Amino acid sequence: MTRHFLTLLDLEAEELAALLDRAAVLRAERGAPGARPLAGKSIVILLEKASTRTRLSFEVGVHELGGLPLTLISKDTQLGRGEPIADTARMLSGYAHGVVFRTFGHDRVEELARHATIPVINGLSERYHPCQLLADLATIRAEHADLRRVRVAWIGDGNNMAHSWILAAARTGLSLRLASPERYAPAADVVGLARSLGADVEVVTDPREAVAGAHVVTTDVWSSMGHEAENAERARAFRDYRVDAALMARAAPGAMFLHCLPAHRGEEVAAEVIDGPASRVWLEAEYRLHAQKALLEALFGAQ
Ligand code: CP
Ligand code: NVA
Q: Which atom of ligand 2 is nearest to the CA of 159?
A: 1
- Distance, CA of 281 to CA of 285 (rounded, Å): 6
Domain 132-284's class?
A: alpha beta
Helix (H, G, I), strand (E, B) or coil at 80: helix
- Ligand with smallest separation from the Cα of 221: 2
Which helix (H) or strand (E) element contains residue 282? helix 281-300
State if residue 132 touches ligand 1 by the CB under 6 angstroms criterion.
yes
Q: What is the pLDDT of residues 61-89, one digit of tens each?
A: 999 999 999 999 999 999 999 999 999 99
* Cα distances (angstroms) measured from residue 88 to each of 44, 60, 94, 106, 225: 12, 24, 10, 16, 23
Q: List the domain boundaries for the chain.
A: 8-129+287-300, 132-284
Whether 132-284 and 8-129+287-300 are alike in CATH topology: the answer is yes
Cis bond upstream, residue 262 (ω within 30): yes
Relative to the alpha carbon of 47, which ligand is closest? 1
Q: How far apart (Å, rounded) are the C-alpha atoms in residues 62 and 25?
A: 17
Q: What does the pLDDT look like over 23-53, one tens digit per residue?
A: 999 999 998 888 899 999 999 999 999 999 9
Cα 184 to ligand 1 centroid, rounded to whole Å = 21
For 8-129+287-300, CATH gives 3.40.50.1370
Task: Identify the residue whose C-alpha is closest to ligand 2 atom 7.
Answer: 224
- For residue 22, the number of C-alpha atoms closer than 13 Å in the C-beta half-sphere is 17
| Ligand 1 nearest atom to the CA of residue 225, by list position | 6
Work out whether strand 42-47 and strand 68-73 pair parallel, antiparallel, or are unpaired: parallel
The pTM of the full predicted model, rounded to 2 decimals, is: 0.98
